[in-house]
Amino acid sequence: MTHQSIIFFDIDGTLLNHDKELPLSTKESIFKLKELGHEVAIATGRAPFMFEDLRKELDIDTYVSYNGQYVVLKGKELYRNPLKISSLEKLTEVALHNNHPVVFMDHEDMKANVPEHTYIKESIATLKIGRFPAHDPHYYKGRELFQTLLFCPEGEEKQYEQEFYDFDFVRWHPVSVDVVPKGGSKAQGIKKVVESLGISEERQYAFGDGLNDMEMLTAIRNSVAMGNAEEIVKSVAKYVTKSVEDDGILHGLQMVGLL
């Protein structure tokens, strides 16, 4: 297809609404894009195992997960960008001292360094994925981790930002922060995909709503912020569509001329 485009969609607040439901208009729009010959991909902060059902429902096999650290193209692993383990060990020690639990995450599973904690239950529950991390304080040993969750109230991540230069800290919940490799972002993961497919900049689109979407919305020429996004996120996007609850994906795809 000469005019094939690729469209990257964030999940939470973009494909899924506040109740983690997939609007019918969104599902129909995704399949219409595929019928037209376009490539549809997911770009999310979630782990691959946290959106497997959604991938199956939408028949999507290309995705940028962990905010760009683990990328799969047409069902095959394309890119890995793991955390620096020596620095992660030190961060975990500091976090334990501060009573801030962490959850270690690779492409297959997640494990907590403490048996249980209110912050973990509170934040993970909002994802409605039907599972919580088991306890394994040594899960980081001998394997590549692509993201760690640090659980602390808003503002308290500042002390980690000042001490651990190998990581970026991106808040996604009032009591939880994504810890990813420095400079890693959805934009970097997307770059790996579009370079492999050879799709030009003018044929690249991205939809998102969160703070972790800002690099993606800045880097992609045809970027669309959801109506439910924060104003700072909307400010970096080329277009702003309606909210996810108000058929925002369908409206946005019509706005940019893809549907």
- Domain map of the chain by residue range? 6-80+184-255, 85-181
Architecture label for domain 85-181: 2-Layer Sandwich (3.30)
User: What's the rounded mean pLDDT across residues 32-58?
Assistant: 96
User: What's the rounded mean pLDDT across residues 225-232?
Assistant: 97
User: What's the rounded mean pLDDT across residues 141-167?
Assistant: 96
Contact 9, 241 (CB under 8 A): no
Among candidates 125, 173, 127, which has minimal Cα distance to 150?
Answer: 173
Question: Among residues of the chain, what percentage have pLDDT more than 70?
Answer: 99
pTM greater than 0.85: yes
* Residue scoring higher pLDDT (1 or 152): 152
**What pLDDT was estimated at residue 1?**
45
Which residue(s) pair with 72 in the sheet? 63, 77
Among candidates 225, 234, 196, 153, which has minimal Cα distance to 62?
Answer: 196
86 contact partners, CB below 8 Å, separation of at least 6: none
Q: Is the pLDDT of residue 147 over 90?
A: yes
- Binning the chain into helix, strand and coil, the percentages to the nearest 5 are 35, 25, 40
Q: What is the C-alpha separation between 227 and 250, in angstroms, rounded?
A: 12
Q: Which of 10, 12, 106, 168 is catalytic?
A: 10
Q: Under DSSP, is residue 110 helix (H, G, I), strand (E, B) or coil?
A: strand
Q: What is the CA radius of gyration of the chain?
A: 18
Q: What is the C-alpha separation between 223 and 83, in angstroms, rounded?
A: 28
Q: Under DSSP, is residue 83 helix (H, G, I), strand (E, B) or coil?
A: coil
Among candidates 6, 1, 10, which has minimal Cα distance to 216?
Answer: 10
Q: Which amino acid is at 54?
A: L
**Residues 175-195, buried b or exposed e (16+ Cβ, 10 A)?**
bbbbbbbeebbbbbbbbbbbe
Largest Cα–Cα separation, the chain: 57
Q: What is the C-alpha separation between 85 and 99, in angstroms, rounded?
A: 20
**What pLDDT was estimated at residue 171?**
87
User: What's the rounded mean pLDDT across residues 17-24?
Assistant: 96
Under CATH, what is the fold of the domain 6-80+184-255? Rossmann fold (3.40.50)
**What pLDDT was estimated at residue 2?**
53
| pLDDT tens digits, one per residue of 84-117 | 999 999 999 999 999 999 999 999 999 999 999 9
Token pair of 69 as six digits = 């650290």
* Dihedral (CA of 233, 228, 241, 66) sign: positive
Burial-class residue 233 by CB neighbours within 10 Å (0-12, 13-18, 19+): buried
User: What's the rounded mean pLDDT across residues 36-61?
Assistant: 96
Q: What is the C-alpha separation between 100 and 114, in angstroms, rounded?
A: 10
Q: Does 10 qualify as catalytic in the annotation?
A: yes
